């Protein structure tokens, strides 16, 4: 299958490794996955790890390797945290598994973001997994395996993906830049790697952003970093600490409602912001720990199922 | 029987209040009867001012009428089919006009009655039949266009002496009941210009031998016993008396999470000390926590704690009651959501395209948006990404203000076409080289032996060994077609976006796809 849509477009897709051999990092995982390809069979798998470290890429490469030429017909990719609910997910799985594999020994279902499913939905998923063991294998992907119920974990071979090493990201970025005939400064690449924290998707997006402003220089990378990380969170925390609750609350609503930032992301960014203050020597230890206590409790409550916006508004009130 | 129906006037003369308005309406009716078409009548006024009564009196003047009210689902189609038709028909008998009555036209709802206001405006403009409409809120923006094309009659509230007189001389006299005139006066006054509610109150109190006393009147308080969300919010923010606050929470029938949103919204608008805001919001946070626990456990016993946190909890968070008037505001987060609905829908549409083409979830897609914003400043990259994701013009505008210049589009399209040409060349060669030899014949037979379920995979008698030779019989154009068909089909394999209803269509698609393959084999 040579015809490819990937000749132009976002580099994250264009340079997504197509085979297990090309996957960057995660050597021990990749070598095990290759064995599955050789054997022509695989158990149910669970890929866990932070964003942008190759979970989806490895899954796609494995699927292509193991299903061969007709992988598209025998592969279903679903988002488990589909806004339309677990029933939609289950219906899709059911419809897909009812059909016999075509030109391949079995079918594979890739379920992304399983950790965002409720416990009930996970139990339902477990039943699906059992029902179709003969015809289909599952690859589940999540950020935190701790949020997955035990019965599912025990039915999967679990692979823990780790952040990709700086050197490996660096090499990949240089390779892409060369393929694209883009000039680059070594410092620019180093800076990207530093800010990306082992996240390949973020790195490549930063690279393409910098390149699209003209050339991949360190200055352009800094520009990208500051543009991509808007000042709103900083302003919001500032306003709250200065005692202007209404202003702070307005910013919070803007960011959450207009930009669609999730509650979990907000908590994280607030944590980063507060923590950067103490790191810069701008905050008293005692005050800091009070805030951290409040942030931690907010994080917990949101994950427990409270309304993220209300909880975050209350968190900002604690900053007053 | 409800007294409000029993004593509903049948003639204009008997309708209480609004003398001037009645005259105008009577003239309107007379003119129609003399075959002088008039603009639609729009009666605007608060509850119990006689709109419905007048509409029914008008109806009696015409031979036929149809009526709709807000509880009907007035989508565009429905309005057009039920009313649109009769609005345009002339009756065969010249004078037999068909009256159209529409109640609560300001209640046509944005989403439920998609296109309702639009259809209504169209009918008003085109109608050849008399129309009477009623509305409550003079300033509703749903009425702006309607008002322009209609004769607007503003119905005044009924003055309390008029109500008093009506209750005494029409209702009580007929029922043969005598009451304390002073208490009756009070009742008339309390109904604040709503004749219907005053009759209802009177009936509730004195029917079946009840006595109209001041105590009895007090017990009915105003119109009913429920407090509005605004009453409750005011009580929580102003009172420091737990008993009053609890009662107000209890009497409120609104969705408690909505009440919580209202209270939260108004905390910093009422409380001035940050310490109070902090404490009050902590209470809100706890209330929300118990709503969440209710949802996940389905145990509604938690609600009472939530209610206390957001009610009594918030009320005691202030040191003193503020001696000031602050307007109770609706939750701004909701209105922000309403205002930004279009933008958010657009954002989600883009993220959905990314989900499909870039193997990311919506949440991850949103994290890529800031980078796209930067990339889209570059015309060529903007084109590349838009083309890759198949973005529409308005979706492109989400990332950049300016359109992509025509020159750039042409240039990029040429580059892409060249690439496609190269790909096709490779594809042609690969077919000729016989990539299909890679499928061993025995594999195909094995699939063929099994009973084929739902999917036609391969004809069992497929002439496997000759496939490759067969391609030699096709000229390049035909091979191109095959190549294009195949490459176009492949992007349809993803099954993510169907709900169960659409899944049949999906299955069909899939079958088509597989048949497409079969054709490749069985030329």
| Whether B368 and A5 lie within 8 Å, measured CB to CB | no
pLDDT of A92 > 70? The answer is: yes
Q: Give the CA dihedral A113, A116, A121, A124, nearest 10 degrees.
A: 30
Residue B436 maps to a domain: no
Does residue B419 sit within a domain? no
B134: β partners: B43
Lowest mean pLDDT: which of A85-89, A138-142, B171-175?
Answer: A85-89
Helices (H), chain A: 11-14, 27-39, 55-67, 86-98, 119-131, 150-153, 166-179, 186-196, 200-212, 218-228, 232-241, 245-253, 259, 263-279, 285-304, 308-318
- The residue that leads in pLDDT, B496 or B262, is B262
Q: Which residue has the higher pLDDT, A74 or B328?
A: A74
CB pair distance less than 8 Å for A253 and B500: no
> Sign (positive/negative) of CA torsion B181, B185, B191, B195?
positive
Please, which pLDDT band fits residue A109 given cuts at 50, 70 and 90? Answer: very high
pLDDT of B63 > 80? The answer is no
Closest CA to A122 of A99, A92, A98, A145: A145
pLDDT of B94 over the 70 cut = no
> Does the beta-carbon distance from B277 to A245 stay under 8 Å?
yes
Taking the Cβ of residue A69 and every Cβ of chain B, the question of whether any pair is shorter than 8 Å is answered with yes
* A131-145, A263-277, B74-88: least confident range: B74-88
Residues of B in contact with A120 (CB under 8 A): none
Q: How far apart are CA B80 and CA B113, in angstroms?
A: 12
* DSSP secondary structure string for all residues of B496-514: TT--TTTHHHHHHHHHHHH
Burial of B90 (0-12, 13-18, 19+ CB in 10 A): exposed
Question: What residues of chain A lie within 8 A of the CB of B430, using their CB?
Answer: 2
Are residues B217 and B94 both part of a single domain? no
Instruction: Kindly state whether residues B481 and B458 are assigned to the same domain.
Output: yes
Residue B10 lies in a domain: no
Residue B71 has pLDDT above 70, yes or no: no
């202007």: which residue's tokens? A244
pTM, two decimal places: 0.59
Q: Are residues B381 and B284 in the same domain?
A: no
User: End-to-end alpha-carbon separation of chain B, Å?
Assistant: 81
Complex ipTM? 0.88
- Asked if residue B435 is part of any domain, the answer here is no
CATH code of the domain covering residue B88: 3.40.50.300
Residue B214 CB neighbour total at 10 angstroms:
12
pLDDT of B304 strictly over 90: yes
At B38, phi and psi to the nearest 5? Answer: -120, 155
Nearest to B509 by CA among B432, B471, B455, B463: B455
User: Which has the closest alpha carbon to B164: B183, B148, B141, B188?
Assistant: B188
Return the pLDDT at A7: 66
Rounded to 10 deg, the angle between the B476-490 and B503-521 helix axes is 150
Six-digit token string for A113: 């973001």
- The answer on B278 and B129 residing in a single domain is no
User: How much of chain B, in percent, has pLDDT values that exceed 70?
Assistant: 73
* pLDDT in the model for residue A85: 67
> Last residue of some domain: B337, B356, B381?
B337
Is residue B521 a part of any domain in this protein?
no
The count of residues in chain B is 523
Looking at residues B460-489, what average pLDDT do you find? 51
Which tens digit of pLDDT belongs to each residue from B399-436?
Answer: 998 889 999 999 999 988 888 888 888 888 877 776 55
Residues of A with CB below 8 A from B366's CB? 259-261
The pLDDT score that the predictor gives to residue B5 is 82
Q: Are residues B40 and B143 in the same domain?
A: yes
Which residue range is the domain that position B23 belongs to? 18-154
Same domain, B148 and B192: no
State whether B352 and B302 are in the same domain.
no
Query: pLDDT at position B115, please?
Result: 66
pLDDT per residue over A46-72, tens digit each? 999 999 999 999 999 999 999 988 898
- Are B138 and B198 in the same domain? no
> For all residues of chain A together, what is the average pLDDT?
89
Please provide the average confidence, as pLDDT, over all residues in chain B: 77
Select from B378, B388, B2 the least CA-distant residue to B171.
B2
Q: Specify whether B169 is located in the same domain as B298.
A: yes
| Closest CA in chain A for residue B480 | A3
Top pLDDT among A273 and B142 is at A273
Instruction: Give the best-scoring range by mean pLDDT among A164-168, A260-264, B460-464, B506-510.
Output: A164-168
pLDDT of residue B92: 46
- CB contacts of B464 in chain A (<8 Å) are none
Instruction: Give the C-alpha separation, A41 to A48, whole Å.
Output: 21
Residue B8 lies inside a defined structural domain of this protein = no
- Mean pLDDT lowest among A269-278, B64-73, B342-351: B64-73
- My answer on whether B244 and B283 are in the same domain is yes
Q: Tell me whether residue B3 is in a domain.
A: no
Segment A248-274 mean pLDDT: 90
Of B139, B154, B169, the domain-final residue:
B154
Domain count, chain B: 4
Q: Which of B91, B124, B154 is the last residue of a domain?
A: B154
Greatest mean pLDDT range, A280-289, B87-96, B163-172, B199-208: A280-289
pLDDT tens by residue, B154-213: 888 888 899 989 888 888 888 888 888 888 888 888 777 888 888 888 887 787 777 777
B207 shares its domain with B258: yes
User: Which residues, in sequence order, are CB contacts of B431 under 8 Å at separation 6+?
Assistant: B471, B479, B482, B483
pLDDT surpassing 80 at residue B510: no
Give the residues across from A15 on adjacent strands.
none
Q: Which of B361, B375, B499 sits opposite A209 (nearest CB)?
A: B375
pLDDT at B461 over 60: no
Over residues A160-188, the pLDDT tens digits come to 999 999 999 999 999 999 999 999 999 99
Q: Distance between CA B460 and CA B445 in Å, rounded?
A: 6
Most B CBs within 10 A among A100, A105, A295, hence the mutation to make, goes to A100
Does B69 map to a domain?
A: yes
Q: Are B68 and B103 in contact (CB under 8 A)?
A: yes
Query: What is the residue-wise DSSP string for B190-232?
Result: HTTT-HHHHHHHHHHHHGGG----HHHHHHT-SS-SPPPHHHH
- B345 plus B206 within the same structural domain: no
Q: Provide the percentage of residues in chain B whose pLDDT is more than 90.
A: 23
Output DSSP code: residue B14.
G
What's the rounded Cα separation, in Å, for the pair B466 and B456?
20
């Amino acid at each position: 299958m040579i015809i490819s849509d990937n000749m132009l477009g976002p580099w994250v897709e264009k340079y997504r490794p197509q085979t297990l051999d090309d996957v960057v990092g995660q050597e021990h995982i990749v070598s095990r996955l290759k064995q599955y390809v050789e054997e022509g069979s695989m158990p149910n798998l669970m890929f866990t790890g932070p964003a942008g470290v190759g979970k989806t890429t490895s899954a796609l490469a494995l699927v292509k390797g193991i299903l061969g030429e007709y992988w598209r017909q025998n592969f279903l990719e679903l988002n488990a945290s589909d806004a339309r609910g677990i029933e939609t997910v289950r219906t899709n799985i059911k419809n897909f598994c009812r059909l016999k594999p075509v030109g391949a020994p079995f079918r594979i279902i890739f379920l992304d973001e399983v950790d965002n499913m409720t416990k009930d939905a996970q139990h339902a998923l477990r039943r699906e997994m059992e029902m179709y063991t003969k015809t289909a294998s599952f690859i589940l992907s999540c950020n935190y395996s701790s949020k997955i119920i035990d019965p599912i974990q025990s039915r999967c071979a679990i692979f823990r993906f780790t952040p990709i090493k700086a050197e490996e990201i660096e090499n990949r970025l240089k390779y892409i830049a060369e393929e694209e005939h883009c000039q680059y400064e070594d410092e620019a690449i180093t800076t990207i790697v530093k800010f990306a924290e082992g996240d390949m998707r973020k790195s490549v997006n930063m690279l393409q952003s910098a390149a699209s402003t003209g050339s991949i220089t360190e200055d352009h990378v800094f520009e990208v970093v500051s543009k991509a990380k808007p000042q709103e969170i900083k302003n919001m925390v500032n306003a709250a600490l200065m005692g202007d609750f209404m202003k702070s609350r307005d910013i919070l609503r803007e960011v959450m409602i207009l930009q669609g930032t999730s509650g979990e992301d907000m908590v994280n960014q607030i944590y980063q912001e507060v923590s950067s203050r103490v790191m810069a020597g701008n905050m008293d230890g005692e005050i800091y720990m009070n805030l951290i206590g409040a942030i931690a409790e907010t994080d917990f409550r949101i994950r427990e199922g409270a309304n993220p916006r209300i909880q975050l508004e209350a968190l900002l009130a604690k900053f007053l | 029987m409800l007294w409000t129906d029993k004593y509903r006037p049948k003639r204009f003369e008997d309708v209480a209040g609004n003398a001037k308005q009645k005259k105008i309406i009577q003239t309107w009716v007379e003119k129609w009867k003399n075959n002088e078409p008039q603009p639609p009548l729009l009666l605007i006024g608060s509850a119990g001012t006689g709109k419905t009564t007048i509409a029914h009196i008008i109806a009696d003047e015409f031979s036929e009428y149809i009526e709709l009210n807000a509880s009907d689902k007035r989508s565009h189609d429905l309005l057009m089919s039920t009313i649109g038709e009769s609005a345009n028909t002339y009756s065969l008998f010249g004078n037999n006009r068909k009256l159209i009555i529409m109640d609560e036209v300001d209640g046509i709802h944005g989403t439920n009655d998609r296109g309702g206001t639009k259809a209504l405006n169209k009918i008003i403009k085109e109608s050849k039949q008399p129309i009477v409409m009623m509305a409550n809120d003079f300033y509703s923006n749903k009425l702006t266009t309607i008002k322009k094309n209609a004769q607007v009659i503003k119905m005044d509230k009924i003055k309390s002496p008029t109500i008093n007189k009506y209750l005494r001389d029409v209702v009580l006299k007929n029922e043969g009941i005598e009451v304390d005139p002073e208490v009756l006066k009070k009742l008339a006054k309390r109904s604040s210009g709503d004749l219907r509610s005053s009759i209802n109150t009177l009936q509730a109190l004195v029917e079946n031998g009840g006595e109209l006393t001041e105590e009895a009147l007090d017990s009915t308080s105003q119109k009913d016993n429920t407090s509005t969300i605004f009453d409750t919010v005011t009580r929580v923010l102003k009172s420091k008396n737990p008993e009053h606050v609890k009662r107000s929470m209890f009497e409120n029938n609104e969705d408690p999470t909505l009440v919580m949103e209202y209270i939260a919204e108004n905390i910093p608008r009422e409380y001035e000390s940050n310490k109070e805001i902090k404490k009050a919001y902590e209470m809100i946070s706890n209330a929300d926590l118990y709503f969440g626990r209710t949802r996940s456990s389905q145990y509604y016993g938690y609600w009472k704690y939530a209610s206390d946190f957001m009610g009594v909890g918030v009320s005691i968070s202030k040191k003193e009651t503020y001696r000031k008037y602050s307007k109770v505001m609706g939750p701004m987060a909701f209105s922000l959501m309403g205002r930004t609905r279009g933008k958010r829908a657009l954002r989600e549409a883009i993220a959905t395209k990314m989900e499909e083409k870039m193997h990311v979830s919506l949440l991850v897609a949103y994290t890529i948006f800031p980078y796209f914003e930067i990339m889209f400043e570059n015309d060529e990259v903007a084109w590349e990404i838009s083309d890759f994701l198949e973005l529409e013009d308005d979706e492109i505008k989400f990332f950049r203000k300016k359109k992509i210049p025509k020159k750039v589009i042409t240039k990029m399209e040429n580059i892409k076409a060249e690439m496609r040409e190269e790909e096709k060349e490779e594809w042609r060669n690969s077919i000729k080289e016989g990539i299909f030899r890679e499928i061993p014949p025995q594999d195909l037979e094995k699939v063929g032996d099994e009973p084929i379920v739902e999917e036609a995979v391969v004809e069992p008698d497929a002439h496997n060994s000759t496939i490759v030779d067969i391609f030699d019989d096709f000229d390049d154009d035909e091979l191109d077609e095959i190549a294009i068909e195949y490459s176009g089909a492949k992007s349809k394999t993803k099954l993510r976006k169907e709900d169960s209803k659409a899944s049949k269509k999906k299955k069909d698609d899939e079958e088509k796809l597989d048949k497409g393959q079969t054709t490749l084999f069985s030329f």
